[in-house]
Amino acid sequence: MIGETALEITLNHTIVPAIDRVVSAKWYEDIFGFEFVKEWGPFAVVKVNSSLVLDFMNTEKGFAHHHYAFKVSDQDFDAIFERIQTQNIRFGSGPFKVSNGKYDDKINHLYGGRGVYFTDPNGHILKIITTDYDLDT
C-alpha cells in the first residue's frame, strides 16, 4: 500500500511440550542465556528476544519431539557451545547424528558458518547456527 509501512511478520511465541515446564525453562535460560520471565497460567515463559517467547507447558501424555533452530552470532555460538561442553551435553554435526543417538561430537561448517545439534532434557532437537542456509544451492 502506498504511504504505509509494511509490518514484517514475526513468530511471537510457540508452546514447547515439556516433562517439567519450570525445569525446562530454566535449562534454556542456563544454556542459551534466554530470560526466564515467570510462570504464567499453565506456562513457564522464556523470553528469547524482543519478539519471541517460548511457552513451556507440562504434557502428561507422551509428545512428539520438535526441532528448534536458533541463529546466533559467532560470540553467542562460542558461549553456548562452551556451556554445552561444560555440562557434558552430547552434540553432533547433523540432526540424524543426534536423533539416532550416534553423536559424532563435531560441529558443521555449512555455508561458511558453524552449526551444532543437541537435545534438551525433553528430547527436543536443538540447533545453533551462525549463518543462514543458502536455499539456492
Query: What pLDDT does 4 receive?
Result: 66
Query: What pLDDT does 3 receive?
Result: 58
pLDDT digits (tens, 9 = 90+) for 99-136: 778 889 999 999 999 999 999 999 999 999 999 988 88
Query: What pLDDT does 2 receive?
Result: 59
Query: What pLDDT does 133 receive?
Result: 87
In the chain the domains, ranked by start, together with CATH numbers, are 1-63 (3.30.720.120), 65-137 (3.10.180.10)
Dump strand ranges (E) for the chain. Answer: 13-18, 35-40, 43-47, 53-58, 67-71, 91-92, 115-119, 125-129
Q: Does residue 2 come out as left (phi exceeding 0), alpha (psi in the -120 to 50 range) or beta?
A: beta
76 phi and psi angles, rounded to 5 deg: -65, -40
Spans in the chain with pLDDT lower than 50:
none
- Distance separating alpha carbons of residues 111 and 114, to the nearest angstrom: 8
In 3D space, the residue among 27, 6, 24, 4 whose CA is nearest the CA of residue 15 turns out to be 24
